[in-house]
Structure 1
Amino acid sequence: MVANHESEAASAAAPGAGATVDPMRLASRWRSPAEWEFAAAELDAEPLPSELNTVNSSGLFAVVSTDKLSVKYLGSHLHGHDVGVVQADRPAPTRRAVYYFEMGVKNAGYKGQTSIGFTSGSFKMRRQPGWESNSCGYHGDDGYLYRGQGKGEPFGPKFTSGDTIGAGINYLSQEFFFTKNGSLVGAFPKDIKGPLYPTVAVHSQGEELTVNFGKEPFCFDIEGYILEEKMRQQSMTDKLKLEENISHVIVRSYLLHYGYQDTLNSFDMANATDPPGSRQNGHREPPEMYGLSHRKLLRQLIMSGDIDSTFKRLEEWYPQVIKDEKSVICFLLHSQRFIEYIRAEQLEDAVTYARAKLASFLTHKAFEGLLKESVALLAYEKPAESCIGYLLDCPQREFVADAVNAAVLSTNPAMKDPESCLYSCLERLLRQLTVCSFERRAFNNDQGDAFLLHKEVRNCERSHRS
């Protein structure tokens, strides 16, 4: 990540006097594909149960499939501890809205004492799930629910050969739930702490089960269930009363912040209202109105690749932004000018420019990542098709435009908060939403889904592709 290398005096400057901003904190900041892949891997890093753990088990069963997803009872079923119980190879993942798995009763056997549920890592592996503390189980022979004690309670229908039974954890509502043949049986409060393992058990001669951890389609519509649960949570949020026209204010402030003047004018015309927020806090106009026409033109110049004109306009309108030739803004503009030479296939000009303008940044380790990847474009016959070809795409220009926009906003005497230069009201709300969702997850012992904008965007892209 590129750090800010303005002088300490500039760092201490008051907002509105050309205060230092760190554009590498922008939402659109430059990232290499390796960074994005690492971020995506972190989102999906939580390991999932994939098979049954035949090592840490009661031993009173036989694995009857090579994929370790099927078991058959081998014990004598004479006593309560003659249970063939087996856990998944990993505990249920917790950083999600819901976890769910299913078992198929291939054969109910002599007594039909199959069961499904969740157990802790220290669970006694000779007992049915739900018969010991820190466990719960739904049992087929009586349809009872067992929650940490030998005595059960009426819960749902019995199940037998041919039935598919599911067990899940709803982290949104902090509940366990069970299903039968694709229908929800019931739910109850999740009062067990710590990692929990998906667990199945057989307890009489001939009983045989198969387990599905998600490799095959579930009998129960788990995606529909999750969507319904999220909508239920959303309905609770929708009941909250918000200030009138607040969404209009948020959208308008976003357009103002980033200098989209033409879109802003169209937005105001479409709404046919007196621009809200123009009288906020006693000001005649919001601080984001500052330099709007200038910021609009600067964005247009950068997005069209005209960096030379961008420098000229900044020198004319906001010389303090590029006064320090070693600043991060100057570096971003110079690196973008170099990239534009590559885009235009003017390689000799690119080399000359790099020697004249980029060489001075070689000693700044904070600029090393982007600088190396930019210069590396010279090594490819077809840079746009290379692994760093993303630097030639519009998002890179957009990042530079956002950085310049933030720097210009920082010169506004009415801008009291330096953070306001970096983020629009909408972005600050999204950041607050992220923090609050992680706080809620921490309150629930680090269990449950959390809002991550990049994850939501990826999910939307997947749904559109499907």
Structure 2
Amino acid sequence: MVANQEAAATESAPAATVDAMRLASRWRSPAEWEAAAAALEAEPLPSQLNTDNSSGLFAVVSIDKMSVKYLGVNHHGHDVGVVQADCPAPTHRAVYYFEMTVVNAGLKGQTSIGFTTESFKMRRQPGWESQSCGYHGDDGYLYRGPGKSESFGPKFTSSDIIGAGINYISQEFFLTKNGSLVGGFPKDIKGPLYPTVAVHSPGEELTVNFGKEQFCFDIEGYILEEKMKQQSVSDKLYLQPDISHWIVRSYLLHYGYQDTLNSLDMASETDPPANHQNGYGEPPEMYGLSHRKMLRQLIMNGDIDSAFKRLEEWYPQVIKDKTSVICFLLHSQRFIEYIRAEHLEDAVKYARANLANFLTHKAFEGLLKESVALLAYEKPSESCIGYLLDSPQREFVADAVNAAVLSTNPSMKDPESCLYSCLEKLLRQLTVCSSELRVFNNDQGDAFLLHKEVQTCERSRRS
């Protein structure tokens, strides 16, 4: 049946246009991946107290601007020594947290900690004004604006270490004392929020820690626990038995990893299934499996000439248009293989004969320029574009050819199916949902970036 389908496709079906830049393995340099990850973490972090924009009713005790001592006389409620961090709490993460140590509780123990906005009146305790919150040591109360106070936790005094944080996962503030969680409450304040501390009676002195020193509270354990809570919610959702097996199997089918697929079936003692999604027929990814396996192997081995010959024999419509994206990727990869083998004269001749046709195509401009630029380096593998000589570039070309072959399947109803496996569709959906959740939470919270998650998993496995 598969052979008949492929023969019919070879004779009549035109190849759909494959937008290779939308493939999961689309051409992207390691530097671009790192830049994308860095952009998510580019927010400045609070590093010291902003002693310029403050009430001024305190002395800076340490030259690093991490400690303050009260200098006022405390005649009324406005005689507060309040100071914010030098920048707002970062928002592109799961949790932000900082701590203060009460070096001396002073005469009345009216130290406090919390979060305030940029427009906060710098002569008031955090929590005494709208758009602010504060946990106060003299009474253990939580203040969240005029007339909004409640008994919240224990009082705190000299030598106590008090922490305040923002949980962007649950959209809550939380407070700690001496390494233990005191409690949380809804995050109902909008805009950038500054970590804030205050002193309010003679002798009061505080020191802050924005993360340069180890926290008293196990913040990493807290973050892990909060993420596990998220995981437990998804774990309660009903999933079809062995769904992970079928997702992996469909991935191997989609990309033509026939040998690995056979090993998976043997290891799991699973018969090759009918279409698992609708219960009948043959999975569309079975189309051209042995051919796609061979084409992938040829490209991954750098044998582009043989890949061209096989395509001409099996799927001529894929390379019928000599200026198509598939022809460009194959020709550019053949050029790269010459560079890899240090056959520079052959590379130049090949470029003049086969790459010159693509000079006017804007879509190919980036990869074309960087490929040709390999000629300029004495050691191209050590250059900034040396990644073009690595196996991921071959894999990208192999994936593009694989998608083009799948696009010739006359029974494929959805043209998008040739671009992504079920696994990749799930990851794309996860990325979109993560982005939408952050939009809903005013662009706050941890952003999902697959490259970053893979690196985190690799570090965890090595440690």
**Is the TM value for this pair above 0.5?**
yes
Deviation at 1:95, TM superposition (A): 2.2
2:33–2:451 CA contact under 8 A, matched in 1: no
Question: Is 1:20 equivalent to 2:11 in the alignment?
Answer: no
Task: Note closer, same or farther for the CA distance 1:452–1:37 as it changes in structure 2 (3 Å cut).
Answer: closer
Question: Is 1:330 equivalent to 2:339 in the alignment?
Answer: no
Aligned-partner Cα distance in 2 for 1:151–1:369:
58
Deviation at 1:202, TM superposition (A): 0.6
Aligned-partner Cα distance in 2 for 1:450–1:385:
32
2:251–2:421 CA contact under 8 A, matched in 1: yes
Question: Is 1:78 equivalent to 2:75 in the alignment?
Answer: yes
Aligned to 1:229: 226
Give a deviation string over 1:282-313, Cα, whole Å, max 9, x none.
64211110000000000000001100000000
Give a deviation string over 1:400-421, Cα, whole Å, max 9, x none.
1001001111111111111111
Aligned-partner Cα distance in 2 for 1:35–1:281:
40
Query: Normalising by structure 1, what TM-score?
Result: 0.93
SS at structure 2 position matched to 1:338: helix
Aligned to 1:241: 238
Question: Is 1:320 equivalent to 2:317 in the alignment?
Answer: yes
Deviation at 1:262, TM superposition (A): 0.6
Aligned-partner Cα distance in 2 for 1:129–1:217:
25
Deviation at 1:465, TM superposition (A): 5.1
The farther-off stretch of 282-291 and 220-229 is 282-291
SS at structure 1 position matched to 2:426: helix
Aligned to 1:178: 175
1:57-456 counterparts in 2 under 5 A?
Answer: 57-150=54-147, 152-278=149-275, 280-281=277-278, 283-456=280-453
Structure 1 residue ranges, 4+ long, deviating more than 4 angstroms after superposition: none
Deviation at 1:151, TM superposition (A): 5.8
Match of 1:31 among 28, 41, 47: 28
Corresponding letter in the other structure for 2:283: P
1:16–1:416 CA contact under 8 A, matched in 2: no
Aligned to 2:8: none
2:275–2:282 CA contact under 8 A, matched in 1: yes
Aligned-partner Cα distance in 1 for 2:456–2:59:
40
Deviation at 1:127, TM superposition (A): 0.9
2:18–2:325 CA contact under 8 A, matched in 1: no
1:134–1:192 CA contact under 8 A, matched in 2: yes
Aligned-partner Cα distance in 1 for 2:436–2:363:
32
Aligned to 1:56: 53
SS at structure 2 position matched to 1:55: strand
Aligned-partner Cα distance in 2 for 1:258–1:239:
31
Deviation at 1:445, TM superposition (A): 2.3
SS at structure 2 position matched to 1:333: helix
Aligned-partner Cα distance in 2 for 1:442–1:88:
26
2:169–2:226 CA contact under 8 A, matched in 1: yes
Percent identity of equivalent pairs = 85
Aligned-partner Cα distance in 2 for 1:34–1:97:
25
Unmatched runs of 5 consecutive residues or more in structure 1: 1-14
Task: Note closer, same or farther for the CA distance 1:40–1:151 as it changes in structure 2 (3 Å cut).
Answer: closer
Give a deviation string over 1:314-342, Cα, whole Å, max 9, x none.
00001111111111111111111111111
1:441–1:448 CA contact under 8 A, matched in 2: yes
Aligned-partner Cα distance in 1 for 2:169–2:86:
24
Aligned-partner Cα distance in 2 for 1:244–1:445:
37
Aligned-partner Cα distance in 2 for 1:305–1:332:
13
Aligned-partner Cα distance in 2 for 1:139–1:462:
40
Task: Note closer, same or farther for the CA distance 1:71–1:422 as it changes in structure 2 (3 Å cut).
Answer: same
Corresponding letter in the other structure for 2:218: D
1:113–1:203 CA contact under 8 A, matched in 2: yes
Question: Is 1:46 equivalent to 2:43 in the alignment?
Answer: yes
2:140–2:154 CA contact under 8 A, matched in 1: yes
Deviation at 1:48, TM superposition (A): 2.0
Aligned-partner Cα distance in 1 for 2:65–2:416:
54
SS at structure 1 position matched to 2:207: strand
Between the two proteins, the alignment pairs up a number of residues equal to: 452
Task: Note closer, same or farther for the CA distance 1:225–1:143 as it changes in structure 2 (3 Å cut).
Answer: same
Aligned-partner Cα distance in 1 for 2:274–2:193:
50
SS at structure 2 position matched to 1:118: strand
SS at structure 2 position matched to 1:178: strand
SS at structure 1 position matched to 2:430: helix
Give a deviation string over 1:418-466, Cα, whole Å, max 9, x none.
1111100010011111111222222222222232212212322343455
RMSD of Structure 2 on Structure 1 (CA): 1.7
1:16–1:410 CA contact under 8 A, matched in 2: no
SS at structure 2 position matched to 1:101: strand
Task: Note closer, same or farther for the CA distance 1:37–1:437 as it changes in structure 2 (3 Å cut).
Answer: closer
Deviation at 1:274, TM superposition (A): 2.9
Aligned to 1:10: none
Query: Normalising by structure 2, what TM-score?
Result: 0.94
1:16–1:414 CA contact under 8 A, matched in 2: no
Unmatched runs of 5 consecutive residues or more in structure 2: 1-11
SS at structure 2 position matched to 1:54: strand
SS at structure 1 position matched to 2:50: coil
Corresponding letter in the other structure for 2:373: A
